[in-house]
Amino acid sequence: MRKTSWYKLDNIGKFYSATKSNFPIIFRYSVTLTEEVDASLLQEALTSAINDYPSFNCTLNKGFFWYYLEKVSKPYQVEEEKTPICYKMYKDSEDLLYRVNYYKNRINLEVSHILSDGRGTLGFFKNIIYRYLNLKYNLKVETEDNSSIYEKTEDSFDKYYTGPSLRTITNKRIYHYRSRKKKDTTFLEYHISLTKFKDLAKKYQVTITSLIIAVWIKSFEKVMKEREKKKALKIDVPVDLRTIFPSTTSRNFFGLTSIIYDNYNLSLQDIATKVNELLKENTKKDKIQVRMNQMISLEKNIGIRIVPSIIKDIALRITDDIVQNNTTSSVSNIGKIEVNKKLSPYIKNFNVLTSTKYIQMTICSYEDDLSIGMSSRYINNDIIKNFCNILKDNNITGIMNINEEDSYEKM
């Protein structure tokens, strides 16, 4: 018997594969090591990591009804970073849906959202790092994952789907930052102290995520025109469903919850409290289950399933535009990244970034470093400036990395 050579896409993957030409969603993990990266060792590490995570080494192919993933044997050829951050990766059906590159002390793993989500990819990324550091420093640290390949490639959406739920619709018009956009994306990483930020969150009696979202909301409020305040701010917050359902899949398994804010001119404390309450309420299992069912019911609908993929592509692309237009921004917190104690001396920090159509935030932390990734298509960085200023007013400042040199010249 031949081994399985293809996978069905998960629910989210199906949606993203249809809309990929509209706007490819790609996110990037990067790790900063203490020494420069050795390309050949990295390739060796990747080649063995792929054996643990075979569902990553796939190309995207078009079937009659849906796209599907075709397994290929050759892993990605590691290279020095030469494409822009989160650069589109799907040209034709022979291109892999991930990319591994390096620059100086950094290893970057970029993954198309068709394949996996942030938490699902983290296991793969850590596997690569563990293997790389083992090779480089002659260590024997075991990789962390103990779930089987079957568990890792499971479509957990399908497993925990309980049936269609009704869609809840907000009638409010959603605010969008209107400012000149540019062709490429500005990526920023703001590194601040986790302890300091944690203390601040404690002071406000909210979680880290809630406080970041509250500051983000406040940053938007400051650029809004008075007449735009009739509209509501909507921040999407992905929730890792692995924390709610027992799953160790490395494919997509997240739900979306959103924070809707329309009661302007509140203090930061009031916003933070409100966001905290909303997040707590919306991430309860029964609420999340409803949202998840809503997301999946579309794919489960027999009427939609039997439509040929060429037509589905067009239909989903249009829906995608509507959905994208229906949100102000999104904040995605990967949370704390932990590594084996023996490896931490070789690792300086972790970062996560995502491609965007508007402006988005992705967060992760490692030891005392809280890395806030921001990607923006706008020429002016006022929202980000407001964000940093609010933190500064609370005595939190840090180090910024930006992928541009003197971007103001383009104004």
Partner 1 sequence: MRKCNKCKIEYNGNLTKCPLCQSDLTGKKTPSVFPQLKEQKENILRKLLLFIVVAIVIISIFIEYLVHQRLTATKYIILSLITLYILVIYIIEKYQKPIKMMNRYFIIILILLFIWFLLIKSKVITTFLIPILCIVILLFNSITMIVLKESYINKSFGIILLDCILGLIPLLLNILSLVTTPIIVYICTLLDALIFFALLIFCHENLKEEIEKRMNI
Spatial neighbors of 267 by CB under 8 A, at least 6 apart, are none
Q: Least distance from C-beta 284 to partner 1, angstroms? A: 33
**Tokens matching residue 285:** 């299992």
Of 286 and 406, nearer to partner 1 (C-beta) is 406
Secondary structure (3-state) at 173: coil
Q: Least distance from C-beta 155 to partner 1, angstroms? A: 12
Dihedral angle of Cα 303, 308, 314, 317, to the nearest 10 degrees: 60
Of 206 and 337, nearer to partner 1 (C-beta) is 337
Of 342 and 348, nearer to partner 1 (C-beta) is 348
60 phi and psi angles, rounded to 5 deg: -100, 130
Distance CA 87, CA 112 (A): 10
Of 150 and 408, nearer to partner 1 (C-beta) is 408
Of 70 and 236, nearer to partner 1 (C-beta) is 70
**Tokens matching residue 305:** 């399933």
26 beta partners? 112
Of 31 and 233, nearer to partner 1 (C-beta) is 31
Of 8 and 173, nearer to partner 1 (C-beta) is 8
149 neighbors 209 (Cβ within 8 angstroms): no
Residue reference for tokens 């979202």:
213
Q: Least distance from C-beta 150 to partner 1, angstroms? A: 18
Of 131 and 312, nearer to partner 1 (C-beta) is 312
Q: Least distance from C-beta 18 to partner 1, angstroms? A: 14
243 neighbors 2 (Cβ within 8 angstroms): no
Distance CA 166, CA 216 (A): 30
22 phi and psi angles, rounded to 5 deg: -60, -55
Q: Least distance from C-beta 107 to partner 1, angstroms? A: 12
Q: Least distance from C-beta 87 to partner 1, angstroms? A: 9
Q: Least distance from C-beta 356 to partner 1, angstroms? A: 17
Burial of 180 (C-beta count, 10 Å sphere; 0-12/13-18/19+): exposed
Q: Least distance from C-beta 60 to partner 1, angstroms? A: 12
Query: Which amino acid is located at 62 in the chain?
Result: K
Distance CA 113, CA 121 (A): 10
Distance CA 171, CA 285 (A): 25
132 neighbors 45 (Cβ within 8 angstroms): yes
Residue ranges that bind partner 1, judged by CB under 8 A: 2, 5-6, 8, 32, 61, 63-66, 68, 70, 80-85, 92, 94, 103-104, 106, 186-190, 305-306, 381, 384-385, 388-389, 392, 397-408
